[in-house]
A and B are shown apart, each in its own frame.
Chain A
Amino acid sequence: MKICSRCLYSELHPLNITFDEEGVCSGCRIHEEKDLLDWNARFQKLKQITENYRNQSGNNYDCIVPVSGARDSYFIVHTVKNVLGLNPLLVTYNKHYNTDLGIRNLANLRIKFNLDIMTLTVSPETVKKITRGTLRKMGSIYWHCIAGQTVYPVQVAVKFKIPLIIWGAHQGIDQVGMFSHLNEVEMTRKYRKEHDLMGFEAEDLIDEFDGIEESDIVQFRYPHDKEIERIGVRGIYLNNYIRWDSKAQHEKMIELYDYETGEQTRTFDTYNDVDCFNYSDVHDYIKFIKHGYGKVTDHVCREIRLRRLSREDGIKLIKEYSIKEPKNLNQFLNWIGMTKNGFKFILDQHRSPKIWFRNENWEWELKNPDPFQNENRRKSEVDQVRLALVENECKFRHTPNKRTDFQDEKYILIGKGYYQ
């Protein structure tokens, strides 16, 4: 298995990845642009684009900003409202797996920035039905979250004639270097279908076997081409114009707006995805089963590229976290109404044969239990492309829990938004 000689992504990355003559991956090469581009000029470009979208009549918002409350939400809203001076409409898809911390962070975001927010909460019975279908079809419990997050902003844009949507980081650029920052890639339905939705559009879920009918997927349906064209909908990504550093950005948001951090099951990052019981837990465990790697690898690679983590420490972290069992599996099984055996059976259908095999006891075993076994032999190749560290430690902060008396153990569908 080919592993980048700088970061720790392997050729199995589900977004695809390429390697150059030095064995360095496309993600690392594009990441080098972060230290080469003139980010002041890039930011001016962003200003120029967004200035054009300022509403002149006073009857509408300037743009739409999709938020979850976690994962860069604060930084994006801060940039759009307080740096660019725009008047955004926040939109959020209710992912159902909300933690109390997530509800708190979202309420705090709404109040601190004093903005309007629209929420889409699909009926839990429909969401469960869809999730049973996506589990069977693609082994995903997160399809509805990603489908909802990526479609609801576009639906609102079309409905209320707000043509500009502002996103944070484009994952394809940040992880695998799908595009140069200079390509100024915009939101496309194509990327959404292929990478966010794993090739399944909402319509593809309609299935008698799963009991999913047309009426179940209405909320996940993408507006048609003519609507996009008439309104002139465009989605831009801030990381093409701002040197993206998720860790530093979150730390700034902790200082400025009291963003709350949280411990996560399967990664050392305490900033991203703390709003969800499943993201860094059941969902990420499934990712490990399917692709042989988890979110911790994404976080390690990100920190290596930003020169805060050495390759060797990164390997230790990946080994520690990627095999961790999920803590919230029972909670998920209760919610969806499935036994552990049933869940395991379904997951086994989605194990990648590139990674797993059945041993003589008919148990699943990793073909390559230690993907980093060749590290010693690769030393000279690795040292050749190694980045010098700029920070000696890679520490993630832990803020005090704002509601210590509360036992956070159930999905919160609609929360009051505790605020102090």
Chain B
Amino acid sequence: MLKKRIIAVVIVKDDIVVQSIGFRKYLPIGKPEITLEFLTSWGIDEIVYLDISATKNQKLPNYEMIRRAAKKCYVPLTVGGGIRRMDQVHELMSAGADKVSLNQIAWSEISFVKEVALAYGNQCVVASVDVLKTSNGYKVYDYTKKQATGMDPTDYAKKLADYGAGEIFINSVDRDGTYLGYDLDLIQSVTNSVHIPVICCGGARNAADMVQVFSKTNVSAAAAANFFHFTEHSVNVSKSIVYKNENIRLETHANYSENTFDSDMRLTKKDDKILEEMLFLRIEKETI
């Protein structure tokens, strides 16, 4: 069986990495290349790099910045934001992207999904779908217009899959930055409607939410953005927690297998006796 994946979403606005809260409030974090460097060294499975200001500001993707960041990234890198034409996809692939994420262009011109899939293969196309929970049920959300469309996300996902999308990246707008956990009903309904892998995003507070979404839905990857910025080795720690329940990769030398965590999934202190014994122990550095 395929292993489940833990994915970090790096949200870039006006060339800086930000935390996104409710698709409208943004807090500045730093440079993409530093974020990618550390996420990689912390053992993330994949990175999704989303430039959320490119399409809105009618700008091209910042290839130079992506190239610089991709140099620090040794895991599959999906890049999205501002993609409208095929030559941009070529340029992104040469800048170091392994896949592209299509959101706005897929919505306005679904044949483009097919075009990219034909050129680079289905595995290269991640179709990104923002979803808002409305009084009429879940609806696809148009972030450029800041409103919900009439489209049902499961129908839309099916359509995207038919046009050659390799994966569906489903993002819950109303859970964005709320730390209320993933929207399990939404995720389950989308995974039931398509046969391609689904990545879920929006609302994760810590690894406990990832454990939950893997146990309650058939999602293939759990993604999170904000909370990976909060603590040291956030990815190693989260994976060590998910690893106890799920078949995932955990290959970092610092794997937190002997540590314990509190209800917020933050580290707790080791027993004094264990710490004291460590005074005479050599801790080997990982050598590659």
Contact = CB atoms under 8 A, between A and B. Distances in A.
Contacts of A57: 272-273, 276
B176 to A, nearest CB: 14
A164 interface: yes
Given A229-B255, A230-B283, A180 B269 contact: no
A402 B275 CA distance: 43
B34 A193 contact: yes
Interface residues of B, number: 48
B116 to A, nearest CB: 31
A52 B34 contact: no
A342 B266 CA distance: 49
| Of listed B19, B268, B275, residue having the most chain A CB within 10 A | B275
Contacts of A29: 25
B34 A194 contact: yes
B119 interface: no
B87 interface: no
A56 B19 CA distance: 39
Contacts, number: 130
Interface in A38-82: 49, 52-53, 55-57, 59-60
Nearest to B256: A229
Contact of B269 (A18, A164, A190, A235): A164
B125 to A, nearest CB: 31
A197 B31 CA distance: 13
B27 A180 contact: yes
A193 B38 CA distance: 10
B252 interface: yes
Interface string B253-288: 111101100101011111011011011000111100
Given A52-B268, A55-B272, A229-B256, A187 B232 contact: yes
Contacts of B286: 224-226
A232 B29 contact: no
A160 to B, nearest CB: 8
Nearest to B237: A229
A36 to B, nearest CB: 14
Interface in B1-57: 13-14, 16, 18-19, 25-31, 34-35, 38, 41
Contacts of A128: none
Given A18-B18, A193-B34, A178 B275 contact: no
B128 to A, nearest CB: 22
B30 A194 contact: yes
Contact of B283 (A189, A227, A235): A227
B270 A232 contact: yes
B93 to A, nearest CB: 27
Interface in A225-251: 225-235
Most-contacted residue by chain A among B236, B267, B284 (CB, 10 A): B267
A235 to B, nearest CB: 8
A229 B254 contact: yes
B84 interface: no
A195 B30 contact: yes
B230 A176 contact: no
B272 A56 contact: yes
A348 interface: no
A185 B275 contact: no
A161 B275 contact: yes
Given A60-B272, A161-B276, A193-B34, A18 B27 contact: yes
Nearest to B272: A57
Interface in A3-50: 15-18, 20, 26, 29-30, 49
Contact of B278 (A53, A56, A231): A231
A163 interface: yes
A233 B34 contact: no
Nearest to A48: B262
A53 B30 contact: no
A231 B27 contact: no
B267 A178 contact: no
